[in-house]
Amino acid sequence: GDEEQGQLGETRVTVAGVCSDMCRAGDHRDVHRVGRRQRQKCVRDRNGAIIKTIGDAVMAAFLEPADAVRAALDMQEEIDDFNRGQPNKELVLKIGIHKGAAIAVTLNDRLDYFGQTVNIAARVQGLADADEIFLSEDVFSGPDVASVLSGSKVDPQVVSLK
């Protein structure tokens, strides 16, 4: 039979929620493919793993907050480079990053994360406008994050999540 094999555990991860607003691209499949490929490469290059894709949104996990922030900055740079060669600004990223404990589930050889950390990362991402990266305070105060952000404009805000 087709029995599902699974394992359950808890681990501390940094979760990055990345939403691509591709509405300007319409149904242009090449643009969607480029956006997806660029995000995957940036996540892999910074020691992360994509754990969920829902429509144009991607969720990735990293062990270190600084790696998640580096990947987010890399994604923005890659998409900016892509957009420079387009007649319209085809792809826009909205990124949110949070860290904490998450429930790691392996089901049918596929790893996924669940729990409050994942939900908060999605809400933090929801705060971002086009071409913005929002970090929770837990990520912002993480080791090496300040040095990663040293060349970036940082606008600290206190907001409440719904």
Q: Is the dihedral of CA 142, 147, 153, 156 positive or negative?
A: positive
Pairing of strands 57-62, 92-107: unpaired
CB within 8 A of 68, min separation 6: which ones?
Answer: 14, 15, 16, 46, 48, 60, 62, 97, 99, 139
Average pLDDT of the residues of the chain:
82
Rounded CA-CA distance 108/13 in Å is 21
* 28: confidence class by pLDDT, cuts 50, 70, 90: low
Taking alpha carbons only, the member of 2, 20, 1, 5 closest to residue 96 is 20
Rounded CA-CA distance 13/139 in Å is 11
| 72 token code pair | 């987010």
Rounded CA-CA distance 67/4 in Å is 33
Q: pLDDT tens across 46-89, in order?
A: 999 888 887 778 888 898 999 999 999 999 898 888 888 877 77
CB within 8 A of 104, min separation 6: which ones?
Answer: 8, 9, 10, 11, 13, 111, 112, 113
Q: What is the pLDDT of residue 10?
A: 63
Rounded CA-CA distance 84/46 in Å is 24
The dihedrals phi and psi of 70, each to the nearest 5 degrees, come to -60, -45
pLDDT at 140 over 90: yes
* 20: confidence class by pLDDT, cuts 50, 70, 90: low
pLDDT at 4 over 70: no
- pTM of this structure: 0.84
Quick one: average pLDDT of 103-110? 81
Q: In which residue are the tokens 């990223």 written?
A: 93
Question: 9-13, 19-23, 71-75, 156-160: lowest mean pLDDT where?
Answer: 19-23
Q: What is the pLDDT of residue 83?
A: 83
